[in-house]
Amino acid sequence: MRLAIFSDIHGNLEALQAFIQDVRHRRVHRYMCLGDIVGYGANPNECIERIRTLPKMNCVLGNHDAAAIWRYSPYSMTKDAKEVILWTIDQLIRDNSVFLKQLRPKLIMGGLCFVHANPYNPEAYRYVINRKYAMRSFAAARQRLTFIGHSHRPVIITKKNFFQITFESPKGSIAYSLEKVKKQIINCGSIGQPRDGDPRACYCIFDTRENEVEFHRIAYDFQSAASKITSAGLPDFLGSRLARGR
């Protein structure tokens, strides 16, 4: 089976459309979204609706999704994030709010763990960006592989090190063979808000037969996405940062 895993779309329809167009040519059998469909970007409804049409798709709840349905307080977020979430709450149509309310914070499927931030306290939304939180995550997950998002950076984590995935421009795909016994945490990166210095949308595909994970980057029209943010009256910074991937 080939499973496409993606996260942190953040209302960026242009990036999401580029992902969907790219992944269709990669022999994918199922889709897994690791949350944060909304927040930051200007197309929350359109992004939810496009994701809902993907075949054999599952999704977990991200912190911005949770804030958009008041399951997580927008007032605990940064000023810009809070402003966009309050705007998003007003924009969401009923069917899309219901969809977010039905999402669970963690899914276990096929011996794999899927969660937005971390497996030991999924709704606290702490980042797995250092050894302390990596060890807590390894202790909490019984599964060999845990897939996460949230930090917007593609990374493979073992108990010994953090292996950040870097792409030699213009190469947009890299594949890694996974260890068959040891536990690993894999961050798939971000579709709509990359923060590793590469503005291209990022996702991964896990090939269960080959025990291999492929990371893919796709260029998209970030100028249009930024322009929509400005036109919606949302903070300009959230659009300008798309060009920097920061």
Q: Are 185 and 133 in contact (CB under 8 A)?
A: no
- 175: tokens are 């594949």
The DSSP secondary-structure symbol of 178 reads P
The predicted structure's pLDDT at residue 21 = 97
Residues with Cβ within 8 Å of 164's Cβ and at least 6 positions away in sequence, in order, are 153, 154, 155, 196
Q: How many residues does the chain have?
A: 246
The predicted structure's pLDDT at residue 170 = 65
Q: What are phi and psi of 150, to 5 degrees?
A: 80, -45
Per-10-residue mean pLDDT of the chain, 246 residues long, equals 97 98 95 98 98 96 98 95 98 98 96 96 93 91 95 92 70 85 92 95 96 96 97 95 94
For 151-202, the pLDDT digits (tens) are 999 999 988 877 777 666 567 888 988 877 789 999 999 999 999 999 999 9
- 128: tokens are 């797995």
The predicted structure's pLDDT at residue 219 = 96
Q: Are 195 and 245 in contact (CB under 8 A)?
A: yes
- What the chain holds in terms of domains, given with CATH numbers, is 2-243 (3.60.21.10)
Q: What is the pTM of this model?
A: 0.95
The DSSP secondary-structure symbol of 159 reads S
Residues with Cβ within 8 Å of 84's Cβ and at least 6 positions away in sequence, in order, are 11, 39, 40, 41, 234, 235, 238
The predicted structure's pLDDT at residue 169 = 59
The residues with which 177 forms a beta bridge, in sequence order, are 212
CA 216 and chain centroid, separation = 13
Q: Are strands 201-207 and 212-218 parallel, antiparallel or unpaired?
A: antiparallel
Nearest to 131 by CA among 162, 163, 165, 166: 162
Q: Are strands 30-33 and 2-6 parallel, antiparallel or unpaired?
A: parallel
Helices and strands per DSSP (H, E), number in the chain: 8, 12
Nearest to 69 by CA among 104, 121, 117: 104
Cα distances (angstroms) measured from residue 20 to each of 14, 16, 107: 10, 6, 22
Q: Are 75 and 106 in contact (CB under 8 A)?
A: no
